[in-house]
Amino acid sequence: MGEIVLAAKITHVPSIWLSEHAPEHKGIRQNAIDGLTEIGRRARKLDVDTFVIFDVHWIVNQGFHLNANDRLSGTFTSHELPHFLSGMEYDYRCDPELAGLIESAGNERKLGVRAHTVPGLGLEYGTLIPMHHMNKDGFARILCVASNQYASIDEGRQFGEAVAEGIARSDRKVAVLASGSLSHAFWPNALSADGLNAVNGEFNRQVDLHVLEMWARGQFKEFLAMLPDYALKCNGEVNMIDTAYLFGALGWDKYKGKGELVGDYFGSSGTGQCNVMFELPG
């Protein structure tokens, strides 16, 4: 029987790549890199077989989708921010078997889940940036999961439950990762360069910090009750659907753990970012 052995909310900002490759910005995201590296170290120690990544940069309009190709490789340049992220080479083993199990579990719930084994369906930086630091040598498989931009928070919960059921039907030790921001208000164009390392708006920053405190205290019932408003009022990235998937997989308001901030909360181009691990039984 498979199990979720690690769960985290993680950052994927392309300024991480800039931090490594642009001399004028050298080291600006070392905090984020160190957090991703530490989560990857813990995953290796837990003998994780597969990283399941809820990627808010693979955006879909209908249903729920998984990349079930057997292996994915290539060279990635961001179409959004090519001056931040270009020329990233990647090569990962994937997990079509687990994708199929999640597809079956989701369709038993009539969620419209599709696992795709088609050429040309590559990876986005919501997966590539974290895996570059967490799974650089490819010790574990990856399974990229799309984010439905029109799904409700409750539909996200249901899909997360299907992910957990699919994992339970497998023989995998899995790390589930919600790859997306907290608040997500980009700076207006005229302010974007100066706002590279800041959150856009004190309201968004304060709500993000309060959410991190709630996670540290284990106030997940209260957090989930506020999640729809949080996503709306703090400009949630794809409606914070990755977070709904994650907590659906963890049992929603029955989840009893606490969140551990790995590194510091930080601003990036207006958005609020963090790496947080969530306690699991055992």
Mean pLDDT of 101-112: 98
Q: State pTM to two decimals.
A: 0.97
Contact, 47 vs 164, CB < 8 A? no
222 pLDDT higher than 90: yes
What DSSP letter does each residue of 20-59 carry, written as one string?
HH-GGGTTTTHHHHHHHHHHHHHHHHTT--EEEEEEEEEE
282 pLDDT higher than 80: no
Looking at residue 132, its pLDDT comes to 98
281 pLDDT higher than 90: no
Contact, 163 vs 66, CB < 8 A? no
What pairs with residue 219 in β-bridges?
Answer: none
Give tens-digit pLDDT for 167-184.
Answer: 999 999 999 999 999 999
What DSSP letter does each residue of 172-233 carry, written as one string?
-EEEEEEE--SSB-PPPGGGTTTTTTSBS-HHHHHHHHHHHHHHHHT-HHHHHHHHHHHHHH
How many domains would you assign to the chain?
1
119 pLDDT higher than 80: yes
246 pLDDT higher than 90: yes
Mean pLDDT of 214-242: 98
Give tens-digit pLDDT for 15-74.
Answer: 999 999 999 999 999 999 999 999 999 999 999 999 999 999 999 999 999 999 999 999
205 pLDDT higher than 90: yes
Looking at residue 105, its pLDDT comes to 98
Contact, 124 vs 34, CB < 8 A? no
The C-alpha atoms of residue 56 and residue 242 are separated, in whole angstroms, by: 7
**Residue 58 CB: number of other CB atoms within 10 A?**
23
Whole-number average pLDDT of the chain: 97
Looking at residue 116, its pLDDT comes to 98
Q: Where on the phi/psi map is residue 218: left (φ > 0), alpha (ψ -120 to 50), or beta?
A: left
Residue 100 sits in a domain whose CATH number is 3.40.830.10
Contact, 160 vs 110, CB < 8 A? no
Q: What is the helix (H) or strand (E) element at residue 147, kind and residue range?
A: strand 141-148
Domain membership of residue 272 as a residue range: 3-278
